[in-house]
Amino acid sequence: MQFTPIPIHTLRHFNPALIEEYLTMQQSNSFEISIDITYEFDDLSRYFSIEYAYVHATYAGQLLYSCAASFAYTVPWPYHKHPFQFRVTVTDLSALAAALYSIVQGYFDDDEEMLEYSLKAAEFYIEALENIEECKLLGLFQVAMEYSNKFHEGDNEDLFS
């Protein structure tokens, strides 16, 4: 099966209607959506930055999963900044367009929409901690949890040596 690549940053100036039009023009219903890992971290914020990136990616993947007929994803190693990749096959391009628009707002808008996305991602993460069956991206979720624990436990000994 051929997946049409869509780097999420290419949609950053599109509204939902333009995203749907773009998807339609691809003449495909199978897409590989990639989200670049954009965090930069210093030693003091490394664990929080990784946790934040993986919580956001988990939520993005969950949005994509919710509109997909089939779905797969990769779990990049946190220190190698390979993009998050999601493969989806959909039957409803407008649902995919809405999910992509939400993700774009969460990653590229510097206003209330980005904050709203961050809050929804955090809420989803907290709900998944309480009910793991709701999370369909356990690989990304596990990395987020691991770095959350490291950050909150103050596992910073190696940072100051």
Contacts of 74 (CB under 8 A, 6+ apart): 82, 84, 85
Query: Which is it for the CA torsion 50, 111, 124, 82, positive or negative?
Result: negative
Q: Are 90 and 96 in contact (CB under 8 A)?
A: yes
pLDDT band at 132 (very low <50, low <70, confident <90, very high): confident
Tell me: the pLDDT tens digits for 39-98? 666 666 788 888 888 889 999 999 999 999 999 999 988 877 789 999 999 999 999 999
Rg (CA), the chain: 16
Tell me: the pLDDT tens digits for 14-32? 999 999 999 999 999 999 9
Tell me: the pLDDT tens digits for 101-119? 999 999 887 788 888 888 9
List beta partners, residue 88: 31, 71
d(CA 115, CA 108): 11
pLDDT band at 158 (very low <50, low <70, confident <90, very high): very low
